[in-house]
Amino acid sequence: MNNEFIQKIDKVSVGNVYKNEPLSLHTTWKIGGPADALVEPTSMEELNVLMDFILKNNIPWRVIGRGSNLLVSDEGIEGVVIKLNENISPLSIEGEEVKVGGGYPLIKLATIISKQGLSGLEFAGGIPGSVGGAVFMNAGAHGSDISKILKKALILFSDGTMKWLSNEEMQFSYRTSYLQKVKGICVEAIFQLKKGNREEIVKEMQQYKDYRRRSQPWNYPCCGSVFRNPLPNYAGQLIEKAGLKGYQVGGAQVSTMHANFIVNTGNAKAEDVLNLIQHIKKTIAEKYQVEMETEVEIVGKKSN
């Protein structure tokens, strides 16, 4: 990106600006090269000013939340990376309706909601990442997902426009939404929940959290599930059956705890993860004639 624009960003009221920022500091995998500029708007007004600046200057851009479910290339990302934090839009609860910003941590939201005696978000108690990322992916677990509770979402489209989309307009299906087709980002969401028994809701959510702690390798940097389940099969079971648990490329390893997780053992590069993903895909295709699709989003500059 032209340095002139980076200098100009400093003079615009758009929030916190970090130049040549390593994205390994902003992804749960702890992997990723630098962004030319990473900007954290602190309000919707600052986000609007930033988008106006980006579009007028024709700067490449993308949005990240908490950086889970994201593999950033070792070469980094060109242009501006907009990081949505939880303070961009305040959390508000009115009756059974919850309005929240796209950068809000999903686990924190689920915990707060459960203590209010509102039911519908229990499944999200152990899902890392942000509200916006969860809407983008239609994140789910334990037989439920975002599509069951989303009323509408405020979407930032690639041309810089923003529009509220209803649940139907989001075209949800398994780990997929309309946003993946049109490159849209959820900056605010409204969820429709139900009043329930507070003690039962808190207990159920704690059980889901405990299950995740027991069954998934959160003691290492990882991104969550790497592959979509090729139903009726389960990705983790296929990978384990193929004898790939513990298989390692560079610093990237198929978790010995859950085979649909790739962990960073300390010095993994994006290239290691990509090579490991390709090896898994090839092995499963050869052994079981099943095509594996990644759930994780792979972004950034390609190496020459």
Residues with catalytic roles: 175, 225, 295
Tens digit of each residue's pLDDT (9 = 90 or more) over 156-173: 998 889 999 999 999 999
pLDDT number for residue 210: 83
Select from 27, 135, 131 the least CA-distant residue to 77: 27
pLDDT band of residue 9 (cuts 50, 70, 90) is: confident
Per cent of the chain over pLDDT 70 is 98
Other beta carbons within 10 angstroms of residue 96's beta carbon come to 15
> pTM of the entire structure?
0.88
Q: Mean pLDDT, the chain, as a whole number? A: 92
Helix spans in the chain (H)? 3-10, 44-56, 106-115, 131-137, 178-182, 198-215, 235-241, 270-288
Please say whether the beta carbons of 154 and 162 come within 8 A: yes
Domains of the chain: 3-83 (3.30.43.10), 89-215 (3.30.465.10), 235-299 (3.90.78.10)
Cis before 232 (ω within 30) = yes
Burial of 73 (0-12, 13-18, 19+ CB in 10 A): buried
* pLDDT on residue 2: 54
Average pLDDT of the residues in 10-27: 91
